[in-house]
């Protein structure tokens, strides 16, 4: 009963309102002094310090009159200046120098590990490097030495490995001190995103976790990989490499630093600015120096704040909630259960949205313990139990792996995976946190949710013992029958590409809207459909672009990418486009528009017309474009009209369909597209997935169309008491052939060529 009551009131509030883009600040120097600027290049903390480092865990180290201290995002002292040197906080500790010795302080400025070391690094993966005398050692958060050896040189652990020198032997050790990679390179730096910088004869390249050279020695200098890119200098200029060694951003900078939070500091003609991942200047190069980007609010505090907000909404009495039901819900044990569940759900929501599971890297295999290491940017290293007789197969098929069923904790500014599954084909490998993995994880993870106090009840009632049974009418997202046991095909549609968009959370991006404005289940619709496209239709994961809660810029960029893919494949590529979210018609032209989450329905200037979207998908040669729209364009929606003040619906004008295009729409005419709460999906999407599940993808377009029309029409009347009739639109060139098409077995109609010359 407790769980049922909780689900009813949390279904729409956990994911709404969280910060998609944290407040990002950069330390910047101008006229000889340091301050902090935002992403617009505006001063947030005016330049007044002699030096400054990046924000981590919500505070930044700054130097004033020869001493270092720490300030918050308002420029207020959190720790007064008193140290001779200081470093950014990492894993809730910072290395500082006091009376010529290094030690570690907490956020109060108190020493947790006394200043007794000649050198010290920041903590990374639960361990720090320190020196006493001529040797390097690794210590944990208590200051205990955890490795047997004393090294002539050592750098911090990353991805479960640390580069060390010992008695003329060079290599990378794991956290037990075992040497797992040996090498003879002149220099070797820590791993990042699966690759480590190494140098030979004055040139730099990159190796993988097996010690193999992946990017040859040809660069005068490099930085580590971060967010898929690494800066490198060649012939006196810096640019950015991808993991194949190709230039992702061409050489044009005098200096270039790693990406973080989507931005990188770069220099030109003696001045510094900030670029985005496309190499475009976000902040023009006009500063004397700019430091690394940082979050002005710690990840931990941001999530704590979100938990408090969700709880404050949960504890309010609802308009249509009986007093006796509210009394039951407000019993102390139910409040405690609610707080625990909210914390778990908020962590999962943040983790799934902020961590790119598709960028997971497979690390080394520990044959003795039968574990593979797994590295995901933004998380501490994880591992998965794989029997030794399956290990080679697992490694060879890693490119087909998907990670799901994730559970998270927080360690400093990083997530920790406390539960997840790795699925390859029909094989599933479940992470067991009790199995004993990288021990630093459990040491770094704190039970910080225990510190969140349960607020006082906002509204109290009489007769607290009166109890009424609660009924559940909505399933939990991710638990529907079509979300499980997704069929896996052996067919590979390597020339098929998919753009899948689920726009659910409009409220977080537009002030003044209420939760009802969101499009229920649109995000899970897109996520599950993407799994079917990959597993059931055989489209490689790298060919799938999945966007949830997409802005106008993100959608336009993704459509442009599809167009460029079509151009590059010279007529040999097919496309699948799926959209779930709000749609609206222009009140005058009746032209239908896709509504990004950051576009207000009252002003369609920055919305994306359906004609524009379809035009991008068909403007270059292609074999076929298949479109699925779980949206209506009348002004109605699954929950509430995005522009409810209009009061009436507008029958949209049919879009212009050209090329080899077939479009399946969720509704016809002036109908709305509704949710299917019982299945936690859109009505149209549920039956689309249902048919793909039943047929294992072997269904003709005619069979799919007939099934959708029948099932959606019947269930919409029964469930929502309103009409909803899917329809199909095809380009003139396919009027006689589209019914025989099949998403799994790829038929190739005549290639459509662009009219452009």
Residue 235 backbone class (left: φ over 0; alpha: ψ -120 to 50; beta: rest): left
Q: What pLDDT, on a 0 to 100 scale, did the predictor assign at position 311?
A: 83
Q: Are both 418 and 553 inside the same structural domain?
A: no
pLDDT reading at 412 higher than 50:
yes
Give mean pLDDT, residues 13-36: 75
DSSP 473: -
Between CA 218 and CA 235 the distance in angstroms is: 10
Both tokens of 487, joined, read 């069929």
Q: Are both 447 and 500 inside the same structural domain?
A: no
CATH of the domain at 566: 3.40.50.1460
| pLDDT-based confidence at residue 700 (cuts at 50, 70, 90) | very high
Nearest Cα residue to 573 out of 532, 619, 607: 619
| Interval 514-535: pLDDT, tens | 555 788 899 999 999 999 999 9
Q: What pLDDT, on a 0 to 100 scale, did the predictor assign at position 638?
A: 53
Both tokens of 193, joined, read 């995103």
Both tokens of 649, joined, read 């619906």
Q: Are both 536 and 409 inside the same structural domain?
A: no
pLDDT reading at 53 higher than 50:
yes
% of the chain exceeding 90 in pLDDT = 50
pLDDT reading at 44 higher than 90:
yes
Residue 424 lies in domain: 299-451
Between CA 131 and CA 123 the distance in angstroms is: 14
Q: What pLDDT, on a 0 to 100 scale, did the predictor assign at position 336?
A: 80
Q: Are both 612 and 667 inside the same structural domain?
A: yes
Q: How many helices (H) and strands (E) does the chain have?
A: 11, 49
**Residue listed under structure tokens 């697992």:** 394
| Interval 262-283: pLDDT, tens | 999 999 999 999 999 999 999 9
Which neighbouring-strand residues pair with 25? Answer: 294
Give mean pLDDT, residues 355-372: 84
Which neighbouring-strand residues pair with 51? Answer: 63
Q: Are both 570 and 719 inside the same structural domain?
A: yes
Separation of CA 742 from chain center: 32
Angle in degrees, 0-180, between the axes of helices 2-10 and 332-354, rounded to the nearest 10: 50
DSSP 226: B
Between CA 256 and CA 254 the distance in angstroms is: 7
Question: 3-state DSSP call for residue 77?
Answer: strand
Q: What pLDDT, on a 0 to 100 scale, did the predictor assign at position 433?
A: 62
% of the chain exceeding 70 in pLDDT = 85
Q: What pLDDT, on a 0 to 100 scale, did the predictor assign at position 148?
A: 66
Question: 3-state DSSP call for residue 30?
Answer: strand
**Count of domains observed in the chain:** 2
Question: 170 and 179 in contact (C-beta within 8 Å)?
Answer: no
pLDDT reading at 566 higher than 90:
yes
Between CA 599 and CA 579 the distance in angstroms is: 16
Nearest Cα residue to 598 out of 548, 551, 554: 551
pLDDT reading at 631 higher than 80:
yes
Q: How far is CA 370 from CA 108, 389, 639, 736, in A?
A: 41, 10, 49, 56
Both tokens of 58, joined, read 């919500």
Domain presence at residue 438: yes
Between CA 622 and CA 190 the distance in angstroms is: 44
Average pLDDT, the chain: 83
Burial call 660-678: b when 16+ CB within 10 Å, e when fewer: bbbbbbbbeebbbbbbbbe
> Model-level pTM?
0.57
Between CA 546 and CA 457 the distance in angstroms is: 40
| pLDDT-based confidence at residue 544 (cuts at 50, 70, 90) | very high
Both tokens of 547, joined, read 């966007």
Give mean pLDDT, residues 323-329: 83
Domain presence at residue 430: yes
Contacts for 557 with CB less than 8 Å, ≥ 6 apart: none
DSSP 369: T
Q: Are both 610 and 499 inside the same structural domain?
A: yes
What does 131-164 look like in DSSP terms, one character per residue? EETTEEEEE-TTS-B--S--BSEE---BTTBEEE
Nearest Cα residue to 677 out of 548, 524, 550, 526: 524
Domain presence at residue 266: no
Q: Are both 729 and 610 inside the same structural domain?
A: yes
10 Å CB burial of residue 321 (0-12, 13-18, 19+) is middle
Q: Are both 409 and 501 inside the same structural domain?
A: no
Q: Are both 655 and 532 inside the same structural domain?
A: yes
Q: Are both 523 and 630 inside the same structural domain?
A: yes
Domain presence at residue 211: no
Contacts for 348 with CB less than 8 Å, ≥ 6 apart: 406, 407, 408
pLDDT reading at 226 higher than 90:
yes
Q: Are both 500 and 616 inside the same structural domain?
A: yes
pLDDT reading at 443 higher than 50:
no
pLDDT reading at 441 higher than 50:
no
Last residue of a domain, one of 451, 481, 503: 451
Q: Are both 364 and 436 inside the same structural domain?
A: yes
Domain presence at residue 80: no
Q: What pLDDT, on a 0 to 100 scale, did the predictor assign at position 603?
A: 76
DSSP 589: T
Domain presence at residue 7: no
Between CA 648 and CA 641 the distance in angstroms is: 10
| Interval 462-493: pLDDT, tens | 333 332 222 223 466 666 889 888 998 878 89
Distance, first Cα to last Cα, the chain: 66
Domain presence at residue 514: yes
| pLDDT-based confidence at residue 11 (cuts at 50, 70, 90) | very low
Domain presence at residue 153: no
Between CA 295 and CA 55 the distance in angstroms is: 6
| pLDDT-based confidence at residue 745 (cuts at 50, 70, 90) | low
pLDDT reading at 632 higher than 80:
no
* C-beta neighbour count of 567 within 10 angstroms: 16
| pLDDT-based confidence at residue 682 (cuts at 50, 70, 90) | very high
Give mean pLDDT, residues 398-423: 85
Question: 3-state DSSP call for residue 325?
Answer: helix
Separation of CA 431 from chain center: 20
């Amino acid at each position: 009963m407790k769980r049922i009551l909780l689900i009813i009131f949390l279904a729409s509030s956990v994911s709404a309102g969280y910060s998609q883009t944290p407040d990002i600040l950069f330390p910047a120097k101008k006229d000889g002094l340091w301050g902090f600027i935002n992403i617009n290049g505006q001063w947030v903390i005016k330049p007044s310090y002699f030096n400054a480092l990046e924000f981590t865990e919500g505070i930044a180290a700054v130097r004033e009159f020869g001493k270092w201290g720490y300030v918050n995002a308002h420029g207020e002292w959190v720790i007064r200046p008193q140290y001779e040197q200081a470093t950014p906080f990492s894993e809730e500790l910072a290395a500082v120098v006091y009376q010529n010795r290094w030690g570690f302080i907490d956020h109060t400025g108190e020493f947790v590990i006394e200043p007794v070391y000649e050198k010290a690094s920041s903590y990374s993966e639960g361990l720090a490097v320190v020196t006493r005398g001529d040797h390097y050692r690794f210590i944990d958060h208590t200051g205990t030495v955890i490795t047997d050896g004393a090294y002539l040189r050592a750098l911090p652990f990353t991805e479960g490995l640390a580069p060390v020198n010992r008695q003329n032997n060079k290599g990378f050790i794991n956290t037990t001190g075992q040497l797992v990679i040996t090498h003879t390179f002149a220099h070797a730096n820590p791993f990042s995103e699966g690759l480590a910088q190494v140098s030979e004869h004055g040139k730099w390249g990159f190796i993988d976790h097996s010690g193999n050279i992946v990017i040859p020695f040809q660069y005068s200098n490099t930085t580590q990989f971060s967010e898929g890119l690494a800066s490198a200098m060649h012939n006196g200029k810096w640019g950015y490499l991808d993991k194949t060694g190709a230039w992702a951003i061409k050489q044009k900078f005098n200096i270039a630093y790693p990406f973080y939070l989507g931005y990188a500091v770069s220099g030109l003609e003696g001045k510094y600015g900030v670029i985005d991942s496309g190499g475009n200047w976000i902040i023009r190069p006009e500063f004397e120096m700019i430091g690394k980007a940082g979050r002005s609010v710690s990840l931990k505090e941001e999530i704590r704040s979100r938990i408090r907000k969700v709880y404050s909404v949960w504890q309010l009495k609802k308009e249509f909630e009986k007093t006796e039901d509210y009394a039951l819900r407000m019993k102390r044990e139910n409040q405690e259960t609610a707080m625990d569940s909210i914390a778990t759900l908020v962590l999962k929501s943040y983790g799934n949205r902020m961590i790119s599971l598709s960028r997971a890297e497979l690390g080394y295999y520990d044959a003795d313990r039968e574990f593979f290491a797994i590295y995901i940017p933004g998380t501490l290293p994880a591992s998965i139990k794989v029997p030794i007789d399956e290990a080679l197969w697992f490694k060879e098929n890693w490119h087909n792996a998907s990670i799901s069923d994730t559970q998270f904790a927080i360690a400093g500014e990083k997530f920790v995976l406390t539960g997840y599954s790795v699925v390859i084909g029909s094989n599933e490998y479940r992470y067991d946190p009790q199995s004993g993995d990288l021990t630093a994880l459990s040491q770094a993870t704190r039970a910080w949710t225990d510190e969140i106090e349960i607020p006082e009840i906002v509204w109290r009632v009489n007769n607290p013992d009166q109890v009424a049974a609660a009924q559940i009418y909505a399933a939990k997202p991710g638990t529907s029958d079509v979300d499980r046991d997704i069929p896996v095909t052996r067919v590979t549609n390597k020339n098929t590409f998919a753009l899948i968009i689920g726009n659910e959370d409009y409220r977080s991006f537009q002030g003044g809207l209420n939760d009802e404005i969101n499009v229920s289940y649109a995000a899970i619709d897109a996520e599950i459909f993407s799994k079917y496209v990959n597993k059931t239709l055989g489209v490689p994961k790298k060919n799938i672009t999945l966007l949830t809660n997409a802005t106008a810029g993100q959608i336009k960029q993704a459509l442009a990418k599809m167009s460029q893919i079509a151009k590059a494949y010279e007529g040999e590529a097919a496309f699948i486009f799926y959209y779930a979210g709000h749609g609206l018609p222009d009140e005058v032209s009746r032209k239908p528009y896709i509504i990004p989450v950051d576009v207000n329905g009252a002003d369609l200037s920055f919305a994306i017309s359906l004609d524009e979207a379809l035009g991008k998908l068909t403007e270059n040669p292609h074999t076929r474009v298949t479109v699925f729209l779980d949206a209506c364009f009348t002004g109605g929606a699954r929950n509430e009209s995005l522009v409810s003040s209009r009061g009436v619906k507008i029958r949209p004008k049919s879009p212009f369909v050209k090329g080899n295009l077939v479009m399946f729409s969720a509704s016809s005419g002036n109908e709305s597209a509704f949710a299917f709460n019982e299945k936690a999906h859109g009505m149209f999407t549920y039956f689309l997935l249902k048919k793909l599940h039943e047929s294992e993808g072997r269904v003709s377009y005619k069979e799919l169309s007939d099934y959708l029309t029948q099932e959606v029409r019947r269930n919409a009347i029964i469930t929502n008491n309103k009409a909803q009739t899917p329809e199909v639109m095809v380009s003139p060139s396919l009027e006689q052939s589209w019914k025989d098409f099949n998403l799994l077995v790829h038929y190739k109609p005549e290639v459509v060529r662009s009219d452009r010359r």
